[in-house]
Amino acid sequence: MFEEIRNRKNLQLLFGLLTGIAFGFLLQKGGVTRYDVIIGQLLLEDFTVVKVMLTAVVTGMVGIHFLESLGAVHLHPKPGSVGSSVVGGVIFGVGFGILGYCPGTVMGAVGQGNLDALFGGVTGILIGTAAFASAYPKLERTVLHKGDFGDVTLPLLLKVNQWLVVIPAAMLLGLVLIFLERVGF
């Protein structure tokens, strides 16, 4: 049933738009489209961003693995390596700390009227992605595959049933959230 829907191109464009509208609505309601909230998180003063992300991860993780065990969805883990995930991750982090939005929330910030997000953030990200595209052939040959670990997931890495990771991980992340509330963040 879903295969048929997934292959209908124009319907998927509409689904994308609707998914984005719901995502943007939620991000704005959560306050995470605001520069002050994101910088507050990075300065460890306001834990809204972490609370939103961890709740989404726990909810998504349990649901997706359940649907996967029914054969209703396929996982799409991304490949990674030290040269790509660590180096790229830190470069992203530097941008995160200066810009105070991320590629999703910067669009939400535009939607709520933030002009620095539009003229600075979006423009800067586009220039950055274009610069990366130009440097890609060279980076691909040199750094991107250093210390490759492929598209492995934690259950595959540990060679255990997925639920043996999903359940403890969900409990651990839940405890982190309870801890954050307890200490008053």
Tell which positions 47-66 bind another protein, by CB under 8 A: 48, 51-61, 63-64
Report the C-alpha gap between 69 and 61 in whole angstroms: 12
φ, ψ (nearest 5 deg) of residue 33: -90, 0
Least distance (Å) from another protein to the CB of residue 14?
A: 8
> What single letter denotes the amino acid at residue 72?
A
Q: Given CA atoms 64, 68, 73, 76 in this order, what sign does their dihedral have?
A: positive
The verdict on 179 binding another protein (CB under 8 A) reads: no
What are the structure tokens assigned to 24, written together?
Answer: 């943007």
Q: Smallest gap, in angstroms, from Cβ of residue 134 to another protein?
A: 7
78, 50, 163, 156: CA torsion to nearest 10: 30
**Under rule CB under 8 A, residue 164 binds another protein:** no
Question: How far is 105 from 32, CA to CA, in rounded Å?
Answer: 7
Determine if 167 is a binding residue for another protein (CB under 8 A): no
Is residue 185 close enough to count as binding another protein by CB under 8 A?
no
The site for another protein, by CB under 8 A, has a size of 124
Which amino acid is residue 66, in one-letter code?
Answer: F
Q: How far is the CB of 184 from another protein (least distance, A)?
A: 15
* 176 contributes a contact to another protein by CB under 8 A: no
Which residues, 85 to 124, sit near another protein by CB under 8 A?
85-100, 102-117, 119-124
Is residue 127 close enough to count as binding another protein by CB under 8 A? yes
User: Is 67:168 a contact under the CB 8 Å cutoff?
Assistant: no
- What DSSP designation does 45 have? S
For the bound state, the minimum distance from the C-beta of residue 135 to another protein, rounded and expressed in Å, comes to: 8
141 binds another protein (CB under 8 A): no
